[in-house]
Amino acid sequence: MAELYQELGLTEDEYRDIILLLGREPSKVELGMYSLMWSEHCSYKSSKMVLSQLPTRASYVLQGPGENAGIIDIGGGLAVVFKMESHNHPSAVEPYQGAATGIGGIVRDIFTMGARPIACLDPLRFGTLDSPRMRYLFGGVIAGIAGYGNCLGIPTVGGDIYFDECYEGNILVNVMCIGIMPKGNLIRGQATGVGNAVVLMGNRTGRDGIGGASILASQEFDETSQEKRPSVQVGDPFTEKLLIEACLELLEKELLVGLQDLGAAGISCACSETAARGGVGMKIDLEQVPLREEMDPFEIMISESQERMLAIVEPEKLDEVLGVCERWGLNAVVIGEVTEGDTLEISWYGEKVVEVPASSLASGPVYDRPAERPAYLDEVQSFDASTLDHPSDLNRVLLDLVSGPNLCDKRMVYEQYDHMVQLNTVVYPGSDAGVLRVKGTSKALAVSCDGNSRYVYLDPYAGTQIVVAEAARNVVAAGGVPMALTNCLNFGNPERPDIFWQFKESVRGLADAARHLELPVVSGNVSFYNESFGTSIYPTPVMGMVGLIGNLAHRRTIAFPEEGLLVVMLGDTKDELGGSEYLKLIHDMVAGRPPEIDLRMEKGVQTTCIEGIRRGIILSAHDCSEGGAAVALLECCCGDGIGASLDVETGLAPIGWLFGESQSRFVVTLREEDLESLRVLADTRGVPLHVLGRTGGDRLVINDWIDLAVGEMRSAREGALEELLKG
């Protein structure tokens, strides 16, 4: 065993703890289970203590972290379920299947709670498209998301894509899913009721993905990583679609006591977590598990074959449950029963191979890792932008920015995703947030995800606050009131003090921003070990935000909706080029401090915008983010092809006003007669308001700085990605 525990990734101390717990040496199968359940991926052993500071409660939160997904109440008897997860390492090893099974996993997390999945969003991070390998990864990930998500009939309504050298060796594939359900459908992943049957549904178990998610996700990349391709699971979206329909039918008919998906750590995780949550034990006959090939108990327990669910069923309802599964053409077999006590007992043809306390698997070790401020921070933060030589052709700079990989049009990506199925999508990808109507009500959901890691790299605390604020701002621009957030925190190796310091600072920023903006964190995921050959990615916390639009008529897009409207900027523009896309793309520099973020001002600007929309004053809204005001204004023009003539009064240099990325700003349009009303809304919240000019014509004119035809701006941003992909 001594060699085996190391091979399985357990430390000597952890191995000793297992022996103490059991009062004996663990069997091989038991050791395999502990190694997976106590892996970073499943146990959150490095992050748990830090995450405990996050605000998770609000009157409308029905379920916070700890379950398969978070749930909020949106009134009218309806609840919204959502979560974000990573599938980074599998996607870096095998992009199509890695991304596809990422979708499969997050979707299962949603319908496991009883909700119909209604939308997915995918935040993706790649290296630069210069190398054939990165273009292959990019194409494979997009195709995998499309191949799996489209088949399920779940629209992909948003996401974001950044390209940066820091992801060269370790791309990020984060996936978010949102579901909706009548509150009464809520079911938890827990086993209760001694004597109830444990039913395994869905795909047969095979050797694919043995230790996939948990093993791959809990170590760095090196030259052996390609050998781990067999650890990547293979997706079968057709079976997943049948599982969705069958499970929702079973819940509708109230036939289940508990439901849990099988993800990382497979049967080990599903059995121990449901038993631990329900405070019961479980007895499993492993030979009942339908297999694709000959496997031993060790392999069966740790296999991560996809599209499997575990249901807890009362004996008298068993026949009906098996009948529903059969009608959908799904395997469903009883593999065990719920028992008294806390013991997870697993046998193989009558021979006991596992006998452990279920709770000991589900609650792994907890570490307080050492943290130390990284040395690079002093160097990057000391940068002085005033020493730069700026180009004089500002039109050229603007066109270069929007034809660059990060700010160009992403249509060629989202058109590969079915973003319309289910007939709920009322604002398509390409605006600040996706908007989904809630059928049978006048409400809608505004959903977005965000994560500018450059800011977080330059200042993990402030940068993460910006990420939270911007995700909320995107929802606000669409007309939604931000309700709650989920996240995926992508970092390097937590055993390195400099990385762990980034993580701690980032979570502190997340907690402070969430508290100020009154946004409970209802679910989330941590992905560590995003390193290759000893180099970490930028710290990349990604936020997923869900907002509520009380009246569908209040939804807004970024496009200037008509001619002759006033163009107004809410919020101030400061001299802040640090961390900007301008610095990166034009000067090839990642330096300075990220823009300042004042959460009180942020809240004021957001509520001004929401109130302005609700009262019908604000007719379109767009937040200023990467690329600054100039890029935001360009995007407003390109939406419906309406230009604008703007006269900006500022003490800043043109470059600073146009391309600086000051926070807490919106570009909005309104009728002239509504200006005073908006001014009142802004003044009462202490929000600065600047009239920039008017919409109209087919050119964007800003002082004597920018003068471009809408057609020229459109052709710069459209088709740029296709060009970059040609290499």
Partner 1 sequence: MRFGVVVFPGSNCEMDCYYVIDKVLREDVDYVWHQQTDVSSYDCLVLPGGFSYGDYLRCGAIARFSPVMEAVAAFAREGGLVIGICNGFQILLEAGLLPGAMLRNTSLSFICRFVNVRVENTDSPWTNAARPGQVLRIPIAHGEGNYTADKATHDRLVGEGRIVLRYCDEDGEPTGTSNPNGSLDNIAGICNEGFNVFGLMPHPERASEDTLGSTDGLLLWESVMAHYRGRG
Residue 194 as a binder of partner 1 (CB under 8 A): the answer is no
Chain residues 6-35 in contact with partner 1, contact rule CB under 8 A: none
Decide if 89 is catalytic: no
Among 230, 329, 564, 616, binds partner 1 (CB under 8 A): 329
- Gap between the Cα atoms of 57 and 520, Å rounded: 6
CB of 147 to partner 1, least distance (A): 8
Q: Does 552 bind partner 1 (CB under 8 A)?
A: yes
Choose between 99 and 462: whose C-beta lies nearer to partner 1: 99
Asked about 41 being catalytic, the answer comes back as yes
* 395 class by beta-carbon count within 10 Å (0-12 exposed, 13-18 middle, 19+ buried): middle
Is residue 725 a contact point for partner 1 (CB under 8 A)?
no
- Confirm if 508 and 461 have CB atoms less than 8 A apart: yes
**CA-wise closest residue to 319 among 308, 334, 329, 330:** 334
Options 147-155, 592-600, 612-620, 625-633: segment touching partner 1 (CB under 8 A)? 147-155
Residue 328 or 659 with smaller CB distance to partner 1? 328
- Binding to partner 1 by CB under 8 A, coded x per residue (else -) over 414-433, reads xxxxxxxxxx-xx-------
367 and 237 Cβ atoms separated by less than 8 Å: no
- Residue 416 or 607: the one with the smaller Cβ distance to partner 1 is 416
Smallest distance from partner 1 to CB 134, Å: 18
* Residue 557 makes contact with partner 1 by CB under 8 A: no
The CA distance from 308 to 236, in Å, is 11
Q: Angle between the 318-327 and 237-252 helix axes, to the nearest 10 degrees?
A: 140
Q: Per-residue x/- marks for partner 1, 201-240, CB under 8 A?
A: -----------------------------------xxxx-
Q: Which two tokens stand for residue 369?
A: 């890792």
Residue whose C-alpha is closest to residue 312's, from 338, 339, 285, 344:
338
Judged by CB, which is closer to partner 1: 120, or 217? Answer: 120
Q: Which is nearer to partner 1, 392 or 726 (CB)?
A: 726
Nearest approach in angstroms of CB 430 to partner 1 is 11
Query: Is 328 a binder of partner 1 (CB under 8 A)?
Result: yes
Q: Does 434 bind partner 1 (CB under 8 A)?
A: no
- Give the binding range for partner 1 (CB under 8 A) out of 142-150, 315-323, 483-491, 502-510: 142-150
Q: Extract the tokens encoding 443.
A: 């409400």
- Smallest distance, partner 1 to C-beta of residue 415, A: 5
Could you tell me the smallest distance in angstroms from the CB atom of residue 238 to partner 1? 3
The number of residues that bind partner 1 (CB under 8 A) is: 30
Complex with partner 1: residue 24 or 253, whichever CB lies closer: 253
Contact 312, 274 (CB under 8 A): yes
By the rule CB under 8 A, 241 interacts with partner 1: yes
Q: Among 152, 248, 271, 433, indicate the residue that binds partner 1 (CB under 8 A).
A: 152
Q: Give the Cα-Cα-Cα angle 300, 306, 308 (nearest 5 degrees).
A: 75
* CA dist., res. 305 & res. 262, Å (int): 8
Which range touches partner 1 (CB under 8 A), out of 356-364, 401-409, 411-419, 610-618? 411-419
Q: Which is nearer to partner 1, 246 or 687 (CB)?
A: 246
Q: How far is the CB of 143 from partner 1 (least distance, A)?
A: 8
- Shortest spacing between CB 418 and partner 1, in angstroms: 5
Task: State the minimum distance, in angstroms, from the CB of residue 142 to partner 1.
Answer: 8
Q: 3-state secondary structure string, 211-267?
A: CHHHHHCCCCECCCHHHHHHHCCCCCHHHHHHHHHHHHHHHHCCCCCEEEECECEHH
The residue assigned the tokens 């603007």 is: 398
Three-state SS letters, 395-438: HHHHHHHHCCCCCCCCHHHHCCCCCCCCCCEEECECECCEEEEC
- For partner 1, the binding residue among 283, 437, 504, 554 (CB under 8 A) is 437
In the complex with partner 1, the residue whose CB is nearer, 143 or 675, is 143
Q: Which of 153, 341, 688, 719 binds partner 1 (CB under 8 A)?
A: 153
CB of 327 to partner 1, least distance (A): 8
Q: Out of 41, 419, 516, 622, which one is annotated catalytic?
A: 41
Residue whose CB is less far from partner 1, 115 or 488 = 115
Among 149-157, 194-202, 452-460, 540-548, which window interacts with partner 1 (CB under 8 A)?
Answer: 149-157
Of 150 and 464, the one with the shorter C-beta distance to partner 1 is 150
For residue 401, the Cα-to-chain-centroid distance in whole angstroms is 26
CB of residue 549 to partner 1, shortest distance in Å: 13
Subset of 441-480 contacting partner 1 (CB under 8 A): none
Tell me the per-residue interface mask from 502 to 541 with partner 1, x by CB under 8 A, - otherwise.
----------------------------------------
**Alpha carbon separation from 717 to 386, 404, 409, 416, 436 (Å, rounded):** 29, 8, 5, 18, 26
* Strands 116-126 and 156-163, sheet pairing: parallel
Parallel/antiparallel/unpaired status of strands 481-490 and 444-450? unpaired
The stretch near partner 1 (CB under 8 A) out of 57-65, 276-284, 409-417, 507-515 is: 409-417
Q: Nearest distance from residue 444's CB to partner 1, in Å?
A: 10
What's the CA gap between 456 and 467, in Å, rounded?
8
- The two tokens of residue 620 are 């379109």
**Nearest distance from C-beta of residue 315 to partner 1, angstroms:** 28
Q: Which of 87, 419, 516, 622 is catalytic?
A: 87
Question: What residues does 437 pair with on adjacent strands?
Answer: 444
Contact 475, 482 (CB under 8 A): yes
Task: Return d(Cα 681, Cα 689) in angstroms, integer.
Answer: 10
- Among 69, 146, 284, 332, which residue interacts with partner 1 (rule: CB under 8 A)? 146
Q: In the chain, helix, strand, coil percent, each to 5?
A: 40, 25, 35
Q: Taking contact as CB under 8 A, which single stretch among the options 67-75, 93-101, 413-421, 604-612 is the one that binds partner 1?
A: 413-421
Which lies closer to partner 1 via its Cβ, residue 160 or residue 236? Answer: 236
Chain-centroid distance of CA 727 in Å reads: 29
Which residue bears the tokens 């008919």?
A: 253
Alpha-carbon span 270 to 37, nearest angstrom: 10
Nearer to partner 1, 222 or 326 (CB): 326
Query: Among candidates 170, 226, 90, which has minimal Cα distance to 535?
Result: 170
Please pick, from the candidates 1, 49, 143, 255, the single residue that binds partner 1 as defined by CB under 8 A: 143
Return the closest-CA partner of residue 338 out of 190, 192, 188. Answer: 192
Phi, psi (degrees; rounded to nearest 5) at 475: -65, -40
Q: Classify 706 as helix, strand or coil.
A: strand
User: Sign (positive/negative) of CA torsion 570, 574, 577, 582?
Assistant: positive
Residues in contact with partner 1 by the rule CB under 8 A: 143, 146-147, 150-153, 236-239, 241-242, 328-329, 414-423, 425-426, 437, 439, 552
Instruction: Supply the residues annotated as catalytic.
Output: 41, 87
